[in-house]
Amino acid sequence: QVPLVESGGGSVQTGDSLRLSCTASERTLSGYTMAWFRQVPGKERGFVAAVTWSGDTTYYADSVKGRFTISKENAKNTVHLQMNSLKPDDTAVYYCAASRNLDYGLSYLNMDYWGQGTLVAVSS
């Protein structure tokens, strides 16, 4: 296992911004796609955003497109998720994940490593 550690969550109001960060602490993840998922109680863990190792390709869920931006700092083994114009529907535990390949798509079933999650709570 490769430990992934998230940070940056918190409680904010509608329209506020947060930046989440995720770091692979014990080894590099060269060639991996890095992704963010989110989950609320009783629902499936849903895809939010992803970026390839080179950073040349990004993917976003329709619900966050235009508001969230994923980026990487490969030298620091770190991926970020900048979240702007937050809405109450964005409230969830956000998880960082890494995938060796995308043969089976951007699903939580296709991720190889996970962080423990960081809570984002957006109030009206």
pLDDT tens for 57-86 read 999 999 999 999 999 988 888 999 999 999
Instruction: Identify any residues that bridge with 96 across adjacent strands, giving them in sequence order.
Output: 36
At 41 the pLDDT is 92
Mean model confidence pLDDT for the chain: 93
Q: Give the phi and the psi of residue 34 in degrees, each rounded to 5.
A: -105, 140
Instruction: Identify any residues that bridge with 12 across adjacent strands, giving them in sequence order.
Output: 122
Q: With beta carbons less than 8 A apart as the criterion, state whether 67 and 122 touch.
A: no
